[in-house]
Chain A
Amino acid sequence: GAGVSQSPRYKVTKRGQDVALRCDPISGHVSLYWYRQALGQGPEFLTYFNYEAQQDKSGLPNDRFSAERPEGSISTLTIQRTEQRDSAMYRCASSWGGQGGAEQYFGPGTRLTVT
C-alpha cells in the first residue's frame, strides 16, 4: 500500500501563530514517531505513540508542542505560538511495532518556516 504521508509538505507561518502538522502512517502500523530535523543535522526524537497511547514525549522541547493520535492511526503534531527557532523539517515515521528493532518508515516531512 501507500507509504507514510505528511501534510502539508511546506508551511510558512508568522511568529505567534499556531500550526498543526499531520501524519498518516502506513496502514496497520502500531507505532508512530515524530522527529525534528534542523538543516544539516540528523533527526531528533520528539514523541511516539503505540496505537493511540502516547508512550514517550520526552523529546518535545517545551509545552508549546503537543501531539495526539486519537484513533490509533492519523497523528497531529501541534505547535502553539510558533517562534523562529521552531523552523525545521518535521518528520513522521511508523513501524509495525512489536519486536524490538522494527524498521521505521519515514514520511516526506513537513518543512516549517516561521517568519
Chain B
Amino acid sequence: AQTVTQSQPEMSVQEAETVTLSCTYDTSENNYYLFWYKQPPSRQMILVIRQEAYKQQNATENRFSVNFQKAAKSFSLKISDSQLGDTAMYFCAFMYPLNAGNMLTFGGGTRLMVKP
C-alpha cells in the first residue's frame, strides 16, 4: 500500500516571500501521479498542481511549482510571492491508476499561514 507523509503540520510565511511545503511518499510502483490540493477555510478541495511520475520536468502553475525527486520519493511544493489568499491547508496526494481505480491517497496536510 502507498503512504504519503507531510512532515510539517504548520508553516507560516510573510506575504510576498517564498515557502516550500514537503511531501514524501512510499511506493513500489513506477508509473503514478502526484497532486497538491489546497483547502482554504471554506473547506473546498482545490487542485493546485499535478505531476506525472514519468515526466522528468517539474510541473509549474503560475506561482506554484514542484520539486519532484523520483528516486528520493519526494514531491515538494514551492509557492512564490505568497499572497494572503494562499492561507489554507495543503494536502499532497498520490494516485496509482493501474488496478487501483485512480483513488487518491492523501497525506495528513500542512497548515500554511501567510502573514501580512
Contact = CB atoms under 8 A, between A and B. Distances in A.
Interface of A: 31, 33, 35, 40-45, 48, 50, 55-56, 59, 89, 91, 93, 95, 97, 99-106, 108-109
B102 A43 contact: no
A40 B103 contact: no
Given A48-B102, A103-B50, 19 more contacts: A31-B102, A42-B91, A42-B93, A43-B91, A45-B104, A45-B105, A55-B101, A56-B103, A95-B102, A100-B31, A100-B33, A100-B95, A100-B98, A101-B33, A101-B95, A104-B102, A106-B44, A106-B45, A108-B43
Contact of A42 (B31, B43, B47, B108): B108
A23 to B, nearest CB: 14
B52 interface: yes
A48 B4 CA distance: 20
Contact of B108 (A41, A95, A97, A101): A41
Residue with the greatest number of chain B CB neighbours at <10 A, chosen from A55, A95, A100: A100
Contacts of B97: 99-101
Contacts of A105: 47
Contacts of A109: 43
B50 A101 contact: yes
B106 interface: yes
A42 B45 contact: no
Contacts of B45: 43, 91, 93, 106
A91 B37 CA distance: 14
Given A42-B91, A91-B45, A102 B102 contact: yes
Interface string B25-41: 00000010100010000
A108 B44 contact: yes
A42 B109 contact: yes
25 contacts: A31-B101, A40-B109, A41-B108, A42-B4, A42-B91, A44-B106, A48-B101, A48-B103, A56-B101, A56-B103, A59-B103, A89-B43, A93-B45, A95-B102, A97-B102, A99-B97, A100-B95, A101-B33, A101-B97, A101-B102, A102-B102, A103-B47, A103-B50, A106-B46, A108-B44
